């Protein structure tokens, strides 16, 4: 099975742009989309509406929006880093926030990268392509080391 990306994004426009940017960048990894923090946790645990999903099959990368309903990106990140099964999954905070406190708190909680969403689609596509190339192609994860 091909490694997949989990996109946690509540804005349908940003979701569409991210999916389009992946497609335009020719990144072939499947993308699972969830729309809020609670749904992200349920997906990763295989509970709630995702009961029955093989929870041992984890994403190779999580693209996590900061401002989400029900649980925000920082709460999801903290939850992920507090669990053995999800602790090492690379997480990129993909957000419009330019608040220094959000940046600092993201890194304090263990984010791997903090990227502001560019307003211009061409720049956004370029950023997503570079993120994908690094995290999905170049970066070696502990569970892929042989």
CATH code for position 121: 3.40.50.2300
Would residue 127 count as lying in a domain? Answer: yes
Does 146 map to a domain?
Answer: no
**pLDDT tens column, 9-47:** 999 988 998 888 888 888 788 999 999 999 999 999 999
Q: Is residue 66 part of a domain?
A: yes
Q: Residue 74 falls within a domain, yes or no?
A: yes
**Does residue 145 lie in a domain region?**
no
Instruction: Kindly report the pTM of this predicted structure.
Output: 0.90
Q: Give domain status of residue 44, yes or no.
A: yes
Give the number of domains in the chain.
Answer: 1
Could you tell me which residue, 96 or 136, shows the higher pLDDT? 96
Rounded CA-CA distance 76/78 in Å is 5
pLDDT, residue 146, reads 39
pLDDT at 135 over 80: no
Domain extent, residue 125, equals 5-139
Is the residue at 41 inside a domain? yes
Q: Is residue 144 part of a domain?
A: no
């Amino acid at each position: 099975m091909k490694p997949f990306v989990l996109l946690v994004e509540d804005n349908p426009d940003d979701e569409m742009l991210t999916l389009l940017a992946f497609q335009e960048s020719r990144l072939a990894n499947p993308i699972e989309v969830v729309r809020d923090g609670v749904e992200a946790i349920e997906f990763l645990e295989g509970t709630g509406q995702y009961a029955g999903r093989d929870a041992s099959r984890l994403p190779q990368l999580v693209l996590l929006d900061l401002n989400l309903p029900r649980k925000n990106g920082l709460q999801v990140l903290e939850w992920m880093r507090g669990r053995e099964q999800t602790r090492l999954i690379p997480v990129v905070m993909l957000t419009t926030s330019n608040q220094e406190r959000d940046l600092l708190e993201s890194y304090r909680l263990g984010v791997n990268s903090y990227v502001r969403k560019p307003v211009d689609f061409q720049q956004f596509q370029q950023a997503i392509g570079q993120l994908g190339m690094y995290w999905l192609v170049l970066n070696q994860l502990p569970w892929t080391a042989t």
